[in-house]
Every structure is written in structure tokens, then in C-alpha cells.
Amino acid sequence: MPILRVALDVPVNTLFDYLGPDTVVTEQDVGTRVRVPFGKHLMTGVIMEVATYSSIASPKLKPIAHIFRDVPPLPETLLDLFRFCSAYYHHPLGEVVMNGLPGRLRSSKPFVQQYRPILEYRLTGTGRAADPSVIPPRNIVKRRLLARLKETGSITIEEAKQLSQRAPGVLKEFASLWWVEERAEIESSAIAAANTSSPVPVLTPAQKNAVDEIVPTIKQFNTWLLHGVTGSGKTEVYLRLITLMLHQRRQTLVLVPEINLTPQLEAVFRARFPAIRLISLHSGLNPSERAGGWLQAQRGDAQIILGTRLAVFTPLPDLGLIIVDEEQDMSFKQQDGLRYSARDVAIFRARQTGVPVILGSATPSLETYYNAINGRYLRLQLPSRAVRNATLPLVRCIDTRIAKTEEGLSPPLISALETSLALNQQSLVFINRRGYAPVLLCRSCAWTAACQRCASRLVVHLREKKLRCHHCGHQERFPTNCPECGDQDIAPFGHGTQRVEEALSRRFPHARIMRIDRDSTRRKDAWQKMLEEIQGQRVDILIGTQILAKGHDFPNLSLVSVLNSDASLFSSDFRASERLFAQLMQVAGRAGRGGIPGQVLIQTEFPNHPLYQALCRHDYDSLAQTLLVERKLARFPPFIYQVLLWAEAPSIDLALAFLANAEGISAKPKHIEIFDPVPAQMPRLKGMERAYLLVQSSSRSKLQKFLGEWRTQLDALPDRKVRWALDVDPLEF
DNA sequence: AGCACGCCGACT
DNA sequence: GTCGGCGTGCTC
């Protein structure tokens, strides 16, 4: 009997051996889902290996309960991708595999697709390997059908009917054995391929250059950095390369950040390629839709796969190109479970498949930038805006030490808003703080309202008369007097979106003002409605947080102003500057996208700070160079490789004790630095206390080797009430 | 992760 | 004398 080595969703880094019925299971079944008895229950897993021998004592071995023949087996290349992730992120293989499957295929029930008329049957690998002598000699129809399939590879339902009246039934039977797969479309339907509908714009010289650079080596692995200022037309470069892929009948995987931006890009793609099967995999889909799209990708029917980080694990038999848009975006990194970076996994996948990967960004992460200037990645630049007459906005700082603010607004900003209003142009006020005020303060004893479960201040939401924790969602009533000293002189301190909205409505009573943050867009479709209002010119002043920074075109927007961004200049997080710059570049990029010249005003007490200076000059490179020098001196990434060991426990002492223990048992090899355990930046979160231990090395391979050994030791450590996890290439501390 | 096994404190 | 606490170890 064959031994099946099965990946299961359990936190132990091992496969589990089962007995497989030899008549049904072959080498071809690697990648097939199975139902197996595990402890008390049945679980769904994936066959990773078929072997003849098991090191497990035979009385322990159980037979599998069921083999799923509802979808094709996962291709070996995808299993290799899972193996890589498990090894690189030091995460159990079974969890990696099951995390990569759509939920619908993880469940106990077989996947039943919505009705699609079956037009064609195609022979599978299992079918090709099937021995015709197992068919009884008198079953002529079966024999003929199998012979025919082995000859031509596929058969349409019409052709089959001509062979025999009973052929469709026999094909169904073949399908249940996984000898053939059912297809709803006939192969040739892909021919409609690259006939485009929406007008194809003329490329700018820079865009043309980028395309011309990539095309000659489009069939080999390279990591390209497409470095283009906002509005420089990176999307058009993607579209040209995708067109090429469509002509070559190859699939393109497009990864986008985790924001409601997917529909927008989807619309652009659909307009350009109306006849092409595009699937988009994002959080808004129900499980069946997701599994359906995933399956279309696996069959090679979907030619463009657009999705968030999870989509990097989609099986793609004809993959020809990977695009990672806004590669610096933090949402490509998963922060729990398997802590993978979809951008980095995409690069591995491109190398594995031998296809190019394009990282697009206006403000690349320093890791990517460093790789581009040292030649590991190939850099292409789009230095100016693509729309005719659209230029980069004029960026200026307002020194609030001189121009004193009132209600958070300085006189020059007020007059700029007035001018915009008079010209009937839109303005955007960017402030990265939701709520009315970030702190509730007692003037008499300096008490501030804090969250009981998190180490954070409660944010004042005045309209709802509530105090809210933005980390865990906890809410409480607004107190009437100070719980410490009883004084009634408690007041909101600082400014959030709601307070700025209030101040602006007082200042500009006739202006149409709209606040856009997580609170105002919570309701379903609210954001879509608001976008329509903005695009229909029914709004004068927009006030909002980061959701306004990304991706949307506001053609009539001429003024962008930034409030209260100074805090990030002096953060203890060494990546804070990089992120602030990227965010401000993005929000500044909203101004002047149409024909109107744009203006950006930044209220700051540090107008001479190099970050703002670089921003005023639109000079990413000089800031990046400055930051790289700092990083090199401080021995931070990208000059060093980091790993965190996270621990979470009911008390910080337990977490720290576990980490000290972990540090103690480590082999402490040369070239590996292990730092002492420290509490996390947000030491208490949702009632749990968190700490971490930093491990770093200038050698990635030495670090990997160390982690492999350390992990085994950590597994053996008593983890009393402590949950722990390794975070390779961490972004947050 | 679940779940069983197992060894020490307050209960009908 | 038992019910149940959660510490430890296993699941093919």
C-alpha cells in the first residue's frame, strides 16, 4: 500500500503518514486534498508526497477517509512555493499549505461549482497514466474513449456524443476518477485575446523606454523596479506588458495593497481588455466566488489575476509576469500566523518560474531601493507626469512657530483654502488622526483617559459622546469629571479629523465639507457614494486620513494641506521617516492630477527638516540616500537581516521570562547577534502583554541556519501561557 | 490547535 | 472519598 504524506493545519512542523488505497492513489495524486482521521476528528489536508515506506510504526498508521476529486491537484510548483515559505519563515508546512488555499477548499465539503455547461473534457496526468487493461474488455465505449483521449488530449461533448450515446456518462465517470477534467470553455475562446477596446494612449518617452527595456528579456527572471512619480503612468506600462502576455497566452499576476483600490484597477483592466478573463481576489468576495476564481486561475482560464497578498499563492500554470504595485505598502506583509511578505514571495515565485517581476512605486521601500542601486534589481524611472500639462505640485512648508495655528489651522493655510474656494477648486486637508482629539486631558491633575486593555490613550469622539480605543475597539462613555481628582475641567487635547471638520465649518460656513476616515466610511458603499460626490464636484473641502492618500484621481483638486505630521519625524521606529515620506508623497500626488496646477502646504515646526526639504524638491533619491547612510551607520536593514521572536502572555513578566529562556538556550553562534528581550512598542494589546527579542546578522544564510536549529529548541521549551512566533524580516516592532 | 491523561486542592 | 484545576504530551 502506498504511504501518503499529508500536510495538515496543525502547528507542528511535520507531515502525517496515512495508508492510501493502492488502486486509486498514484504519484499523480500529490497535491490532492484528502480527508483523514486525526486524533478524535477528521481533518482536511493535502497530499505532499507519495511514498512506499513510512518511519511510523504500522499499527499507528490509519487509512485516509476520502480523496477529493472535485478540483485538480495543486501543481508541484505551488507545493514548492509552500515548502519555500515554510523553510524561510520557519512556519509549519501544514499551516502554510492550508493558509494558501481558499477557505472553501479547506472545508470538509467538496467544492461544487455554480452551474457551468460542460463543453469539453481534457485528459489529466492521471488519465494519461491510467492502464487501459483495468477496463473490462467488453466495455467498448470506455476503451474507445480512453484511447481517443490519449490520442488527442481532449474531446468536446459533441464529439463524444458522436462516438457513442453513452459517452457523456462515461466521461462523468472518468472525471470522478480524475482521468479527465471538465471545462466550461473551449480552448480556442482565448483567441479573442488582445483586441482592445478603450483607447490606447501614446506612451511618454519614459514609459516607452521602460517597456522597451523589459520586453527583450520578458521570458526570463529579473526583478525590475519601476520607479515612477505619482501620475507618471506606471499603470500604462503594466497594461502594455500585460498585452504582450495576452498575445503569448501567458498569465499575469498583479498584486495590489489591501485597500479598496482593487475595484478601481479592475475597472481599468476590464476597460482595456474586455474579452479577457480577469479574476480579482480580494476580501469582499464570498468563499465560493473566491474558490471559483482561484480555480479559473488554476485551469489557466483566467489570464489576469488581480489580488491582495493572498493571491501570491494562486496556482498559475501559464504564469508569465508578476506585478507588485505600490511595493512599499505594509499590507503586503502579513502580521500574524504565517508572517510572510507577499512582495518577497512574489520575487521568489518569479525566480522559480523564470519570469520577470515588476515592483512599482513612487517611493520604493529602502530595501528595494538599495537592491536597485546595487544592481540586484533593475531600475526604470518615470520622472514626470504622463498627463499633458500636468506638472508636479508645488510643495511648501508653513512654519507654525511663526504662523501660529488656531484650532489647528494656520493663517496661510486659511487663505489658501479661501483662494481655492473662490476659484471653485477642491481642497484636501490631510490629518492622520481619526476622532475629535487624540487625548482627553484633566487640566487640574494631568490625568489622561487610557484604555484598560491596551497601553494606549483613548481617542475622543465628541459627536458620539464616546471615548474609543483605536487599537482594540473598546468604547466607553465620556466622563463628566476627572476620575482621578474629581475636577470638572477635563477637555479634549490635540486635533483629529472631527475637530478639524468642526473648525473648518465654522470658518467656512458656506463651503461643502466632507470628512473621510474609517468612521465615516464604515457603512457599506459609503466610500463609493462619497467618491461620486467628490468626482461630481459636489464637495469643496475634503478632510481625511490615509484612505485619501491612495490611488484615486481627483481631477479638480488643486490644494493639499498636511496637518500634524511632525510626530513621525522623531519616532523610535527606524522606518517611520521612510513611511511618512511615502505617505506625504502619495497625498501630495493627489494635487494637480488634471490640468490644474497643484499646491501642497505642510504645517510644521521643523520646516528645515531634511525630510520636508526633500519633499519640497520631490527628491526621493536624496532622502533615500540620506536614510541609507543613517541605516548603514546604525546597522539597520537593508544592511542587516533581522528576525523577531514575539511572545504574548497575560503578563509581561511571563513573556519576558519566556524570551530570556529562549535567549539562554540558543547556541549563540558567531555572526549572529541576539539582543535582550524588550516590551513591544504597544506593550499591552487587547488584554495581552507583548514583548520581543531581536536577532540579527549580516549573513542571511547564517541567520537562516541558526533559526532552523533554534526553532527546534524553542518547540521543546515549556511555553507556560505564552504564545510565541518568529517574524522573519519584520516591519513592526 | 484540540484533546486526553494525570496529579494536587475544596466539596456533596 | 470525588470533581475539577490546568500543566504536559501526542496526534500519522
Q: What is the pLDDT of residues A568-580, one digit of tens each?
A: 999 989 999 999 9
Write down the domain spans for chain A: 3-106, 120-183, 205-382, 394-437+494-629, 641-728
pLDDT of residue A117: 65
Q: Is the pLDDT of residue A236 over 50?
A: yes
Nucleotide nearest to A4 (CA to C1'): C12
pLDDT at A214 over 90: yes
Per the model's pLDDT, the better-predicted residue between A519 and A656 turns out to be A656
Placement of cell 523589459 in the chain: A214
Answer for the pair A171, A120: CB distance below 8 angstroms, yes or no.
no
Which nucleotides of strand B come closer than 7 angstroms to any CB of the protein?
A: 1-4
Q: For residue A187, what pLDDT is reported?
A: 47
Q: What is the pTM of this model?
A: 0.89
- How many angstroms separate the CA of A14 from the C1' of C8? 20
Distance A46 CA to B7 C1' (A): 39
The per-residue pLDDT for A375 is: 97
C-beta within 7 A of nucleic chain C, residues 43-82 of A: 54, 56, 60-62
CA of A652 to C1' of B4 (A): 30
Please write the tens of the pLDDT for every residue from A58-115.
Answer: 899 999 999 999 999 999 999 999 999 999 999 999 999 999 999 999 999 988 876 5
How does pLDDT run across A602-633, given as a tens digit for each residue?
999 999 999 999 999 999 999 999 999 999 99
pLDDT confidence of residue A114: 63
| pLDDT tops 80 at residue A551 | no
What is the 8-class DSSP label of residue A308? S
Cβ of A12 near strand B (under 7 Å)? The reply is yes
Q: In what order do the strands lie in the sheet with A62-63?
A: A62-63, A16-19, A3-8, A41-51, A33-38, A66-67
Q: Which CATH class is domain A205-382?
A: alpha beta
What integer pLDDT is reported at residue A192 of this predicted model? 45
Query: What nucleotides of chain C have any atom within 7 angstroms of a protein Cβ?
Result: 7-12
Please, which pLDDT band fits residue A401 given cuts at 50, 70 and 90?
A: very high
Question: Is A472 assigned to a binding site?
Answer: yes
Q: Do domains A3-106 and A641-728 have the same CATH topology?
A: no
Closest nt by CA–C1' to A61: C12
How many C-beta neighbours within 10 Å does residue A702 have? Answer: 15
pLDDT of amino acid A334: 97
pLDDT value at A154 more than 90:
no
Contact, A11 CB vs strand B, < 7 Å: yes
- Kind plus residue range of the DSSP H or E element containing A240: helix A234-247
pLDDT value of position A389: 67
- Cα(A423)–Cα(A427) distance, rounded to whole angstroms? 11
pLDDT of amino acid A605 = 97
Per-residue pLDDT reduced to its tens digit, A297-324 = 999 999 999 999 999 999 999 999 999 9
Strand B–CB A721 distance below 7 A: no
A641-728: CATH superfamily: Ribosomal protein S10 (3.30.70.600)
Give yes or no for CB of A95 within 7 Å of strand C: no
The annotation status of A469 as a binding-site residue, yes or no, is yes
Residue A600 has a pLDDT of: 97
For a pLDDT cut of 70, what percent of chain A falls above it? Answer: 97
C-beta separation of A249 from A190 below 8 A: yes
Residue range A28-48, pLDDT digits in tens: 899 999 999 999 999 999 999
**Is the Cβ atom of A524 within 7 Å of strand B at any atom?**
no
Of the two residues A389 and A173, the one the predictor is more confident about is A173
Q: Is the C-beta of residue A723 closer than 7 Å to nucleic acid chain B?
A: yes
* Predicted local confidence at residue A565, as pLDDT: 94
Cβ of A199 less than 7 A from strand C: no
Look at the domain A394-437+494-629 and name its fold.
Answer: Rossmann fold (3.40.50)
pLDDT of A25 > 90? The answer is: no
Q: Is the pLDDT of residue A328 over 70?
A: yes
> Which has the closest alpha carbon to A247: A193, A199, A197?
A193
Work out the pLDDT band at A190, boundaries 50, 70, 90. very low
Average pLDDT, chain A: 92
Q: What is the pLDDT of residue A392?
A: 84
- Give residue A115's pLDDT: 55
CATH number, domain A3-106: 3.40.1440.60
Q: Which residue is nearest to nucleotide C7 (CA to C1')?
A: A720
On the question of pLDDT at A191 being above 50, the answer is: no
> Measured between alpha carbons, how far is residue A621 from residues A208, A229, A534, A615, A617 in Å?
22, 12, 33, 10, 10
Dihedral angle over CA of A313, A314, A318, A321, nearest 10: -60
pLDDT score of A113? 72
| Cβ of residue A510 lies below 7 Å from strand C | no
Grid-cell match 511618512, residue found: A580
Lowest mean pLDDT among A27-36, A149-158, A322-331: A149-158
Closest residue (CA) to C1' of nucleotide C10 is A39
Determine whether the annotation assigns residue A451 to a binding site.
yes
- pLDDT of A258 > 70? The answer is yes
Nearest residue (Cα to C1') for C8? A718
C-alpha cell at A26: 498514484
pLDDT at A700: 97
